């Protein structure tokens, strides 16, 4: 298992060192991560190219609708890895507001807060009020369920949802399902969807045409990245069996605070950067957790994900953007993992 994980990490993950990221190595990995990757799904076949500002504008103009994913805000965190997570979340919102085309909505893939305190949720709400996109969809992270098993999260963000907060909605022919895999999560344990939610998902997808593009989003990745750190979901295989018949499936997650991508058949998996702090690549540190990088590099390893959907081609274009521009050379250099 560990050899397999190592191969996956070597192929798919940015190379982050325990003691930070040197400028040369950082720019090398930013060719596909920090400067952003345009990831297009057409008929389930992915292609990728390095992102430049002009391509972002073109994508926004040509897309039938656009949404932005943010993740892992951890409002309330104040350790050296990022002593002001509210400021970096605000930077993310400013970046969204500066987009040439206003996104239709925002998806937040969990860990809104650090300790699920009312004051932390209040601060988050205040920052998000300033977003140009007023419709925001949430799923909880484990940090949002620490103090009260998620009751406050559900009161604030879970109205109309099922169980511990799962739900679905449709947007111009695309079907979205927000899933919860952090309820009753054990420390360091793998995520779990549970029988009730799996039955709901199977029923939710029944009767939908196989040509319907599907987007699943949850906090913990729905594919096994590194079980030693609990980076995966125990029963995700069953959930993914329900989407095998669909021609285009995109899975969006957070939790690991770094970009990873994988394609299996017609299913494309994508994890997002955090707006709060980075974490080490699996196996490169004794454990998962906040990773301190030089202050001038912090906003280059935090970011947002911009997704454009084109009706005519039944495709999704995924663009990752850091909170700060990495500058120059990395932006034009080739495609990253999953590229064709």
Buried b (16+ CB within 10 A) or exposed e, 252-280: bbbbbbbbbbbbeebbbbbbbbbbbbbbb
Predicted TM-score of the model (pTM): 0.78
- Checking 15-18 for CB contacts under 8 A at 24+ apart, the result is 15/281, 16/258, 16/278, 16/280, 16/281, 16/284, 16/291, 16/301, 17/284, 18/280, 18/284, 18/285, 18/291
Q: Can you give the pLDDT of all 340 residues of the chain as single tens digits? A: 444 443 433 333 333 333 333 323 322 322 222 222 323 333 333 333 332 333 444 544 444 677 888 899 999 999 999 899 999 899 888 888 887 778 888 899 999 999 999 999 999 999 999 999 889 999 999 999 998 889 999 999 999 999 999 999 998 888 999 999 999 887 778 999 999 999 999 999 998 999 998 999 999 999 998 899 999 999 999 999 999 999 989 899 999 988 888 888 888 888 888 888 989 888 888 999 998 878 777 767 676 565 555 444 444 555 555 666 544 322 222 222 222 2
CB atoms within 10 A of CB 58: 15
Between the alpha carbon of residue 123 and those of residues 71, 91, 115, 219, 283, the distances in Å are 15, 14, 13, 20, 34
CB 260 within 8 A of CB 39: no
């Amino acid at each position: 298992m560990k050899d397999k994980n190592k191969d996956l990490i070597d192929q798919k993950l940015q190379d982050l060192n325990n003691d930070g990221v040197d400028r040369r190595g950082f720019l090398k990995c930013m060719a596909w991560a920090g400067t952003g990757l345009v990831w297009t799904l057409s008929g389930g076949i992915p292609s990728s190219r390095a992102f430049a500002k002009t391509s972002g504008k073109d994508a926004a103009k040509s897309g039938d609708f656009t949404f932005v994913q943010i993740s892992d805000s951890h409002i309330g965190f104040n350790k050296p890895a990022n002593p002001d997570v509210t400021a970096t979340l605000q930077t993310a919102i400013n970046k969204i507001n500066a987009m040439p085309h206003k996104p239709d909505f925002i998806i937040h893939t969990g860990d809104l807060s650090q300790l699920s305190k009312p004051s932390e949720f209040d601060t988050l709400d205040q920052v998000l009020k300033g977003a140009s996109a007023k419709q925001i969809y949430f799923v909880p992270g484990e940090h949002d369920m620490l103090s009260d098993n998620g009751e406050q999260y559900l009161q604030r963000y879970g109205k109309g949802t099922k169980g511990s907060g799962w739900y679905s909605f449709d947007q111009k022919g695309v079907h979205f399902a927000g899933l919860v895999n952090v309820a009753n999560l054990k420390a360091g344990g793998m995520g779990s969807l549970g029988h009730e939610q799996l039955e709901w998902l199977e029923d939710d997808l029944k009767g939908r045409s196989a040509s319907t593009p599907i987007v699943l989003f949850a906090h913990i990745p729905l594919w096994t990245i590194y079980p030693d750190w609990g980076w995966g979901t125990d029963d995700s295989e069953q959930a993914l069996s329900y989407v095998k018949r669909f021609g285009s499936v995109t899975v969006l997650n957070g939790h690991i605070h770094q970009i990873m991508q994988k394609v299996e058949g017609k299913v494309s998996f994508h994890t997002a950067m955090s707006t709060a702090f980075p974490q080490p690549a699996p196996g490169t540190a004794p454990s998962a957790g906040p990773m301190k990088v030089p202050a001038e590099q912090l906003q280059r390893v935090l970011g947002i994900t911009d997704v454009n959907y084109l009706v005519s081609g039944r495709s999704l274009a995924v663009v990752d953007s850091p909170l700060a521009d990495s500058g120059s050379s990395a932006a034009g250099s080739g495609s990253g993992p999953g590229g064709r």
